[in-house]
Amino acid sequence: MIVPVHGRHITSVGFQAGKDKMNAVVVKSKEVTLLEILDRVLDKGVVISGDMVISVADVDLIYLGLKVLLSSVETIEKLKGSPFTSPM
Amino acid sequence: MAENGQLVYLYCIADSEPKIEQIEDADNNLYSICHNCLYAVVGKVDQREFGEEGLKRNMADMEWIKAKVSVHERIIEQVMADTDVIPFKFGTLFSTDASLKAMLEQYGQEFKAILGKLAFKQEWGFKIYYSPEKLKANLSNGDFEILKIEDEIKSASAGKSYFLKKKKDELIGKTLNEKINECGQESFELLKELSFEARINRLLPREVTERDDEMVLNSVFLVDRDEVGDFRNMVDTLKMHYEGKGFYIDCTGPWPPYNFCGLSSGKG
């Protein structure tokens, strides 16, 4: 069982609410993979339809090709800084 | 319809004027369109590349997708460093600025409502993977019931030992499922408490993740900026508790709020 951490004392670098409320630097955790980006950009986000819009159809097909894509990318992206990258 | 063979590519909508000149943009064709206090961040793209035919062709080209999707993400991330944004799906294209403005007119109130909800919040992704072998090994070492059966097997006759081994396998399978559910559920619930909104997405298969371990939770959270410290602290607590026991926790962010900007009238 995990005990939830209570209190508001912990602040994380870059996210303190300061005078400039939007100055938070975009800091990605280290192991962001291309997969993460593809999964969001292709599959999520606002979808608008209408006569004046051309929208990317059937993105599910992309997943079929994803393996090919990901293996073409240097694996360092997913290996970077992760202690669990080679399970076994 | 398109002007000069160019289309208008919509990246995101911002609630205050984006600093376009500060955004790194190799093609240098980024600009913003303002309508009723909403700012659409757009770029001009070639119709041969992004028109219906071109898009169809290019969506079969992984290298092209990889490059364009990265640009899409990078531009939105830079915009969101200064203002709250509604990120759009890849490949949302308009024939002209005027048609985009018409869309802003049509959906303006909804966009404003979404921006109101998203104000001062960040999206964080949280995934859990598990390695069956590691988790099993961990179980066998720590579970009293399993250890007891193992002890009994050592001193049992051949017939009884077969029965006991079967019982042990069943017990391991059952305990394994319990541990996975416990880890996933507990993590999700604890993080949800620190979030404004939470969602569970479909699990991605190994062919997609290209990991040896199996995804057991794919969740996203919309977190108030003031809570991000607590949220990340909780993630660290969960990592400390579960990693090394057969689980691997992957937390990423902050992301543009792709998962929390659905229009009421459609999917998003």
Q: Is residue A59 part of a domain?
A: yes
Residue at A73 is within a domain? yes
* Mean pLDDT, all residues of chain B: 89
Task: Report if residue A3 sits inside a domain.
Answer: no
**Rounded to the nearest 10 degrees, what angle do helices B132-142 and B144-155 cross at?**
80
Determine contact, residues B71/B79, Cβ cutoff 8 Å. no
CA angle A77, A80, A84 (to 5 degrees): 115
Instruction: For B251, name the nearest residue in chain A, comparing CA atoms only.
Output: A29
Contacts of B143 (CB under 8 A, 6+ apart): B171, B175
Q: How far is B190 from chain A (nearest CA, A)?
A: 7
A77 belongs to a structural domain: yes
Report the distance separating Cα B263 and Cα B260, nearest Å: 9
Q: Please answer whether residues A87 and B211 qualify as being in contact, where contact means their C-beta atoms are separated by less than 8 angstroms.
A: yes
Q: How confident is the model at residue B171 (pLDDT cuts 50, 70, 90)?
A: confident
pLDDT at res. A16: 33
Enumerate residues 6+ apart whose C-beta is below 8 A from A27: A13, A14, B254
Note if the pTM is more than 0.80: no
Q: Which residues of B, range 132-161, sit inside 8 Å of A by Cβ?
A: 133-134
Spatial separation of the C-alpha atoms in residues B27 and A30, rounded to whole Å:
28
Q: Which domain holds residue A72?
A: 15-85
Q: How far is A18 from chain B (nearest CA, A)?
A: 10
Residue A56: closest C-alpha in chain B: B91
In contact, B97 and B2? CB cutoff 8 Å: no
Mean pLDDT, range B188-205, rounded to an integer: 94
Q: Give the model's pLDDT for residue A35.
A: 77
Q: Average pLDDT of B235-250?
A: 94
DSSP bridge pairs for B35: B38
Cα separation, B132 vs B180, in Å, equals 10
Q: What angle do CA B78, B211, A76 make, to 5 degrees?
A: 50
- Is A4 a residue whose pLDDT tops 60? no
Query: At CA A59, angle to CA A43 and CA B202, rounded to 5?
Result: 45
Split into its structural domains, chain A has a count of 1
* Mean pLDDT along residues B187-212: 90
Q: Is residue A1 part of a domain?
A: no
A75 assigned to some structural domain: yes
Q: Which of the four pLDDT bands, split at 50, 70 and 90, describes residue A86?
A: very low
Would you tell me which residues 32-51 of chain B have a C-beta closer than 8 angstroms to some C-beta of chain A? 50-51
Q: Identify the three-state secondary structure at position B146.
A: helix
B226, B264, B268, B266: which is closest to B113 by C-alpha? Answer: B264
Q: Considering the domain boundaries, does residue A67 fall inside one?
A: yes
Q: Minimal Cα–Cα distance from A22 to chain B, Å?
A: 5
Residue A72: inside a domain, yes or no?
A: yes
DSSP secondary structure letter of residue A56: -
A46 contact residues in B (CB cutoff 8 A): 86-89, 92, 261-263, 268
* B20-59: pLDDT as tens digits: 888 887 676 899 999 999 999 999 999 899 887 888 788 8
Cβ within 8 Å, pair B186-A2: yes
Q: Which of B92, B226, B248 sits opposite A53 (nearest CB)?
A: B92
- pLDDT band at residue A56 using 50, 70 and 90 as cut-offs: low
Whether the CB of B104 is below 8 Å from some CB of chain A: the reply is no
